[in-house]
Structure 1
């Protein structure tokens, strides 16, 4: 029996503040629930921040979805945190989190080993910086310093995803595309932009997979709810394991 594909979603949630300026983590959870994702990578998540009511958005969204959250604060000011999360109901193993070389706002990455049946999948979630040179350094760090554990045959099948702030013509994107496959280029459908959510013009959010994985389908969620819940649209990919 063929393995059922794993559905992975990456989503910059803009601190759960929508394009209508409403703060609503429940709405973000609804967008994710509609997508029926198994693994969710979130960027721009607020935890304990006054500006968003002091809520732990990562755990709130996870509990609404009956999942578990792993959160990494790229930025911490006293009790207030802001960063990236990976949420899933699947069993998880090793977690790695840390900063990336940053010029402006501090950026980081979060990786979680996830058990998919008998197999291990490594998911790395990140939100790269706004300057080109900074993004190249950050991507080089992710590709070369053990975040993705190399791309040898025996390494764990891996996904690198998130808001890379990089369009496909950029040097950062090309760097990732050298050793990983862009999920949006593997299907029959033309790639879709993810930002801004109301009138998407730019493909800034990406899912890249290692050679041990196949992408069955990749789509950008353009539902009415997704267009107002955040300023980015979620990107969704159905991923399977290539036969060993």
Structure 2
């Protein structure tokens, strides 16, 4: 069988072997959009939506969205981007001052419900650190409910570790309702050698840590050399594709690149995730 060329945001990857059943694949993108402020200084939710629409995602996890903020023209960026994509937005404000909000969102056109959205802990002796949060939505795909948690962690190592402990605790991954298949995504501000990363990787599979497949850096967008944006998956999910979108538009729309994964809900053996990449 001849390999197929698949267009991913202006960059082509080669897919070997038989094509996957598209009805089984869940395409997810995690993307820190920096309040839709591009590296060219232009503020444009429409441009972020254009980057995303090109890839036809089923679920989008966004970080650093402005809602009703004067600095961004009072636009509700979460719902503006969702509207461009024909999706519904679940938004959580990590920071709120009067009517102005700033936070994260999960967008999808699939049947979905917001399960939980709340703050993550900071450092008691650093009360002025930027507040952080997480939101958890249940998305129904191919007859299965997938638990998706989106987060954006802090800049300090001890802060991130405390926030990961909260994510692993009873309000999120430790909740009996947060069962496989589940996906934890976002901007973790953490590289793979960090404590925060290692705590999560002990519980879930890093979608990029697949034998024979290289990892994808996402920051900064023009010349990416750091892997700060991650997708972690549970048992019951096979990773069919993972790609940082490096097209010309993606390089200027934000200071992060979007990270795309194609996920397949599959049966597992001995409770371990059947994670592998068909093409890279």
Q: Same fold (TM over 0.5)?
A: yes
Aligned length: 243
Note the C-alpha offset of 1:185.
Answer: 1.5
Indicate conservation of the 8 Å contact 1:95/1:111, yes or no: yes
Q: Deviations over 1:133-192 (max 9, x none)?
A: 01001011101223124589x923110000000001111111110010011112743101
- Segments of 5+ residues of structure 1 without an aligned counterpart are none
Give runs of aligned pairs for residues 36-185 of structure 1, distance below 5 A: 36-103=56-123, 104-149=129-174, 155-185=179-209
Q: Deviations over 1:213-243 (max 9, x none)?
A: 1111111000100000000000011111121
Counterpart check, 1:189 vs 2:213: yes
Determine helix, strand or coil for the equivalent of 2:180.
coil
Note the C-alpha offset of 1:4.
Answer: 2.1
Report the TM-score, using the length of structure 1 for normalisation: 0.95
Q: Deviations over 1:33-52 (max 9, x none)?
A: 11211000000000000000
Indicate conservation of the 8 Å contact 2:117/2:133, yes or no: yes
Determine helix, strand or coil for the equivalent of 1:10.
strand
Counterpart check, 1:213 vs 2:237: yes
- Match in the other structure for 2:258: 234
- Segments of 5+ residues of structure 2 without an aligned counterpart are 1-19, 124-128, 269-280
Which of the pair is proportionally richer in helix?
Answer: 1
- Match in the other structure for 2:271: none
> Which structure would you say has the larger Rg?
2
